Amino acid sequence: MSLEYAILGFLTLAPMSGYDLKTRHFDGSVAHFWPANQAQIYRTLDRLESAGLVTGEWEVQTERPNRKSYTITTEGVAALKAWLAESRPLPKERLPFLVQLYFARHLSRDELLSLLQAQRQLHVDRLKEYQAIGFPPFDDPVMARQVIFGKYTLDFGLRYEQMQIEWLDAVMAQAETLSWPDD
């Protein structure tokens, strides 16, 4: 399960609570390709702690409720490194839009073009969102490498969205040339 390894990876940066993991890292960096909700993070932290891959320590706070901060263990680092070095199989993706397109013969030309344009706009909006992401410079060589690979994950997203837009433009151009019953 990738969530476990994402959490282990984030804990290599510093000890953190589940709340910190959610707000600083899952919402702030990997949400575009690996979202996680608070409950998933806490359940996973419990499993990781039971497996000895992280340790949790309660921090007493006076102004806020007490919180549990997690630290990755030596075993956790070893498990993360082993997982990072393994090749991953390609996932089976479920893409509802492609099911819609597959059976689009049941739509009128206007309905299809409206659907395609709406899908295109979603990708344009996401592309703009990705284009607004910036990375801070780091003097630390380890963090500089993190930024480099973070930029490559962003580059993947940028290229993917651009490809989707170009592909949708091609589908729309083709749809314009087809004969439709309403012609």
Where residue 42 sits, what CATH number does that domain have? 1.10.10.10
| Same-domain status, 52 and 109 | no
Q: Identify whether 55 is part of a domain.
A: yes
- Number of independent structural domains in the chain: 2
- Give the global pTM: 0.83
Q: Identify whether 44 is part of a domain.
A: yes
- Write phi, then psi, for 133 (nearest 5 degrees): -80, 130
Query: What integer pLDDT is reported at residue 146 of this predicted model?
Result: 85
Query: What integer pLDDT is reported at residue 142 of this predicted model?
Result: 78
User: At residue 183, does pLDDT exceed 70?
Assistant: no
User: At residue 101, does pLDDT exceed 70?
Assistant: yes
Domain, as residue range, for 157 = 96-177
Q: Identify whether 152 is part of a domain.
A: yes
Q: Identify whether 91 is part of a domain.
A: no
In Å, what is the CA distance from 84 to each residue of 34, 59, 79, 87, 142? 16, 31, 9, 8, 16
What's the whole-number average pLDDT of the chain?
92
Q: Identify whether 90 is part of a domain.
A: no
| Same-domain status, 143 and 162 | yes
Query: What integer pLDDT is reported at residue 48 of this predicted model?
Result: 97
**pLDDT tens digits, one per residue of 39-82:** 999 999 999 999 999 999 998 888 888 899 999 999 999 999 99
Q: What is the mean pLDDT of residues 123-145?
A: 88
| Same-domain status, 105 and 138 | yes
| Same-domain status, 16 and 77 | yes
